[in-house]
Structure 1
């Protein structure tokens, strides 16, 4: 039996294949970038998303392919005769070893074509397959390259194979799965880059705006507030000292410190109240004297940070080293004086009992 030969079977690339390549590349790029960025910025949810995304995509891809696989399984395969052009065992250490066959397939209703397949063959049956032998094969009508050798054909096809004589199809008449080609690789690379770019853009602030060289807070405007302190109290004076990194200009620090020096509900009149960065000193009026003093609990502590800020920024001391606030009532009216020192000299300002500035003395 001589079979006709024809042109190579046409192959085509559908937009669905390219879309799948773009989506796959996007998932790979997004996942890898999420793992890297999540590790750099310490974003645990992002890092976990980089691990979970491929698994979710694989599951969705499997579920989306169920209808297609069901349709393919419902298609009745075609049966044809094929001649073994060559065969080669390509490995395997079990009783069934993979064998690469090159076949000439001769459909009853079409031209013959060549195809290369790999199929597991039992070692016992391997001697039954020799070049130029005719075998029975089956393949899906829409995928002629997916040829499988029928190991137990029906008696009718077994008789046809035993009596058939086939000619070799030319090498140009070869059937194969549609190649992915350059377009598939390009769209997959494009998807990978797009996925990586999306993650980097979404988390660019965490990646590029981190300030690793931030300077410590200025002495005039500390931002650390803590209740850790050391208090020394006697009948004549009291002091409260703060540890490093803390300041009496921190919110609530002065109120807490004055409260610790005047606890018990008794009225403590003071001659002076001195506030420095880490030290508060109060000199109390002697008991039983008529010396005019001030109530340390009535000072406008909420205005102290603003007074220090004004003294260190508007009086010509550009690099303030130390500052000190002194509250006293030796002349009859309450005076709050802020003194700032620096390379440019000493500057000061005075405020009344409400914290309103009434006098300024610039440096120099």
Structure 2
């Protein structure tokens, strides 16, 4: 099978899309994979109807349909902060707290030469410096690496990490849950899908929640996208451990060498809107929250997605004066006025949340701009 033998913006026959739209309006759970694939090829009036149905599903799924939620957080890259001396990871955590953050997100592997206890030590250092911050850290490959370095099981490492201050796990590195797609993205080096699923479900069983993701815009097809979403829903119904679903395109500048020149090069706004709308409708009853990856799509597309199924804006990604190295998202930051303007355009009210989608304590709630008369 040659994964790339399809045109990204192939449109489904209008009759097929119309038939699927009629069925999804009545009962999204009744659709077949072929019908979801047809909806991923919607355009024109059919795409607008699909987005409207997804937005109606959003309103039914969230506790406050008039809100646009966001979290105040700071992102860091593991390798850049583990041995940093100026600023230290403790400096970065304390500044994030003083800036009003409720979350620290840290991703990426430790350097090969780092201490066997390096991951656990980072958790302890961050939690010790700012114990009020929720620590959202380490993707499944890093969890496997951490356990292997210590010579213990993944379950045992996750228990130690939780007890040391880890609050939740990023569900990134899922890419698309298909072994052939993952192999194509990694040049044959990606761990099997079942390994990713086992780590995530172990995290959930260990009392940690995680995000879930779909990375599209590379060698995958609409069939793969549908199968991926089906697998996430299956996991969620089993563990109830996912807090949100984040749908994001693979940008050309972030593409690994095996797919450089392919990834993201032909992803259209039409496809992005259809993928988000289908993601909302396919996960009704399993996922309450669908997040816009605002760092990876154009601002006017963000506006469309917030009217097409998405309810959450994700994190502010605070830089502050110390400006942590956050990998691909370094230098990207939203301020509260921008959040207010985005909410205003979407006809919603900005509402700060925690990582777990609860209201932050009063002393952690930032003053929001007044929007909409």
Which one scores higher on RCO, CA 8 angstroms, separation ≥ 6?
A: 2
TM-score with structure 1 setting the length: 0.19
More strand by share: 1
Please identify the structure whose Cα radius of gyration is greater: 1
More helix by share: 2
TM-score with structure 2 setting the length: 0.19
